Amino acid sequence: MALADTRTGSGDPPKVSLLYNPAVRRGVFQVLTLVVIVWVIWYAWHNAAQNLARANMTAGFGFLNSRAGFDIAQSLIAYTSDSTYMRALQVGLINTLVVAAAGIVTATIVGLLIGTGRLSHNWLIARLCTVYVEIFRNIPPLLVIFFWYLGVLALLPSIRSIFQHLEEDPDAVFFISNRGIYMPAPVFGEGFGLVVAAFALGVVAAIAFTLWANARQRATGKRPPVARINLALILLPPLAVFLASGRPLSFDYPVPGSFNMRGGMVVGPEFLALYLALSLYTASFIAEIVRAGIRGVPGGQTEASYALGLRPRQATRLVVLPQALRIIIPPLTSQYLNLIKNSSLAVAVGYADLVAVGGTILNQSGRSVEIIAIWMLIYVSISLVTSLFMNWFNAKMALVER
């Protein structure tokens, strides 16, 4: 009977005052948030419209088709000061991607070396790697960029001393000066496309062979010498085609001009400073991530693989590394994203990346809203694409569970 008494309210919901009804409260909060957000946007929009009207300006992206009128020193696609703003922004985007890609590759390699070095049994190596990590992790990347640009690269020999050096040694083709590193540029002749095609074919063949070798190992337990055959498959066909087609490759050598070197390929000090700084700075963080990843794999795993008869290299490659990667990949992704975002520090040394080019356009045309919107859109998209790729890689590496 007592049980029935406590259940009397089960028919209709308990009466709660409106003030304490969770659903009502939630609704009120949401409406309030929405009102505040809409008001902020409206306020900013309204003021911006008024401010723009006072400055006799209109908003819109039409200006992107007008003439840029400024030069860009480092451009990988055809660009002159007569090109459009749009083209200038494309140059900037490509430069950003180039320095970010180069930085990511170098930072990963250096970080891997330093990170494993810190775990080395060799006392001296471990200490040196620790010192490296502790120095670079605790200094602003911008300062490292200035250090390379103003402190180191500016002290390299001047163009004039390169000219003097050339008089003494006319055969020299590779120069390091304070205006950059000069080297011969490859000029691809007719028929070089065939060499590239042969290379692509070799890569496809190598992948196919690896798949076949894996299947064979599973079936018979014997593994063909994959590494050697793959190397041959990738290198030999393009080499053969290259020789057969009459070596369609020549070099354009840098020669002294009136004030500067002409011809050849030049890597500017702006790019070098940014690239070195980004790589070395990010490498110190990647080193810590790698170290944490390797230490996160229990020692029993290595011992077990030795007990199964694997050699140390096999144990590392087949047992430790796949497990360490699972720990490493998520933080590594955020380091890659940081590097991409830090590449915007290019503006401090005048490397024409997206932010530097955009800044110039912003100063020239005063289109601040549009430029900043473009920046945000592009950086958010790059970040998204990188995250998606790394998430895919992470999912591929993840533990396969039932």
Partner 1 sequence: MAETTIYVRDRFLAPEAPPVSDSSVIGWMRRNLFASWSDGALTILAAAALAYFLPAAINWLFVSAVWTGADRTACLTVEQGGQLPAGWSGACWAYVGDRFVQFMFGSYPRDELWRPLTVVVLFVALLVPLLIPKVPRKGLNALLLLVALPIVSYVLLLGGWFGLRHVETSLWGGLMVTLIISFVGIAVSLPVGILLALGRRSEMPIVKTACIVFIELIRGVPLITVLFMASVLLPLFLTPGNNIDKFLRALIGVSIFASAYMAEVIRGGLQAIPKGQYEAADALGLNYFHKMTFIILPQALKLVIPGIVNTFIGMFKDTSLVTIISMYDLLGIVKASFGDSGWITPVTPLTGLIFAGFVFWIFCFSMSRYSAFVERRLDKSQTR
The reply on whether position 376 binds partner 1 by CB under 8 A is yes
Supply the minimum distance, in Å, between the C-beta of residue 280 and partner 1.
13
One-letter amino acid at 39 equals W
The reply on whether position 223 binds partner 1 by CB under 8 A is no
Q: Using alpha carbons, list the distances in angstroms from residue 220 to 205, 317, 380.
A: 22, 21, 49
The reply on whether position 322 binds partner 1 by CB under 8 A is no
Read off φ and ψ for residue 177, nearest 5 degrees: -135, 175
- Answer yes or no: are the C-beta atoms of 364 and 69 closer than 8 Å: yes
Task: Give which of 319, 294, 293, 297 is closest to 306, Cα–Cα.
Answer: 319
The reply on whether position 125 binds partner 1 by CB under 8 A is yes
Give the residue, chosen from 37, 173, 204, 318, that forms a contact with partner 1 under the rule CB under 8 A.
37
The reply on whether position 142 binds partner 1 by CB under 8 A is yes
Q: For residues 195 and 238, give the distance between their C-alpha atoms in angstroms, rounded to a whole number.
A: 5
Between 140 and 257, CB nearer to partner 1: 140
The reply on whether position 135 binds partner 1 by CB under 8 A is yes
The reply on whether position 269 binds partner 1 by CB under 8 A is no
Give the residue, chosen from 70, 116, 147, 209, that forms a contact with partner 1 under the rule CB under 8 A.
147
Give the residue, chosen from 86, 98, 102, 139, that forms a contact with partner 1 under the rule CB under 8 A.
139
Give the residue, chosen from 187, 249, 384, 398, that forms a contact with partner 1 under the rule CB under 8 A.
384
Supply the minimum distance, in Å, between the C-beta of residue 221 and partner 1.
31
Q: For residues 252 and 262, give the distance between their C-alpha atoms in angstroms, rounded to a whole number.
A: 10
Residues 50-89 that bind partner 1 (CB under 8 A): 50-52, 54
Q: Can you name the residues that pair with 183 across neighbouring β-strands?
A: 265
Q: For residues 120 and 124, give the distance between their C-alpha atoms in angstroms, rounded to a whole number.
A: 9
Q: Using alpha carbons, list the distances in angstroms from residue 15 to 7, 11, 26, 76, 88.
A: 15, 12, 18, 71, 66
The reply on whether position 198 binds partner 1 by CB under 8 A is no
Cβ contacts of 208-215, under 8 Å, gap ≥ 24: 209/233
Between 234 and 291, CB nearer to partner 1: 291
Between 53 and 244, CB nearer to partner 1: 53
Give the residue, chosen from 369, 390, 394, 397, that forms a contact with partner 1 under the rule CB under 8 A.
369
Give the residue, chosen from 18, 78, 124, 219, that forms a contact with partner 1 under the rule CB under 8 A.
124
- Detail the DSSP E strand segments found in 200-264: 249-252, 255-256, 261-262
The reply on whether position 140 binds partner 1 by CB under 8 A is yes
Read off φ and ψ for residue 83, nearest 5 degrees: -70, 170
Q: For residues 107 and 276, give the distance between their C-alpha atoms in angstroms, rounded to a whole number.
A: 9
Between 185 and 362, CB nearer to partner 1: 362
Q: Which helix (H) or strand (E) holds 277?
A: helix 269-295
The reply on whether position 26 binds partner 1 by CB under 8 A is yes
Between 146 and 306, CB nearer to partner 1: 146
Q: Using alpha carbons, list the distances in angstroms from residue 207 to 214, 234, 261, 314.
A: 11, 10, 43, 21
Look at the block and give the residue holding tokens 């490493």: 328
The reply on whether position 372 binds partner 1 by CB under 8 A is yes
The reply on whether position 383 binds partner 1 by CB under 8 A is yes
Supply the minimum distance, in Å, between the C-beta of residue 260 and partner 1.
22
- Answer yes or no: are the C-beta atoms of 297 and 324 closer than 8 Å: yes
Integer Rg of the chain from CA: 30
The reply on whether position 173 binds partner 1 by CB under 8 A is no
Supply the minimum distance, in Å, between the C-beta of residue 290 and partner 1.
18
One-letter amino acid at 386 equals T
The reply on whether position 347 binds partner 1 by CB under 8 A is yes
One-letter amino acid at 147 equals F
Site string for partner 1, 91-120 (x = CB under 8 A): ------------------------------
Q: For residues 381 and 117, give the distance between their C-alpha atoms in angstroms, rounded to a whole number.
A: 35
Q: Which residues bind partner 1 (CB under 8 A)?
A: 26, 29-30, 33-34, 37, 43-44, 47-48, 50-52, 54, 121-125, 128, 134-135, 137-143, 146-147, 150-152, 154-155, 341-345, 347-348, 355, 359, 362, 368-369, 372, 375-376, 379-380, 383-384
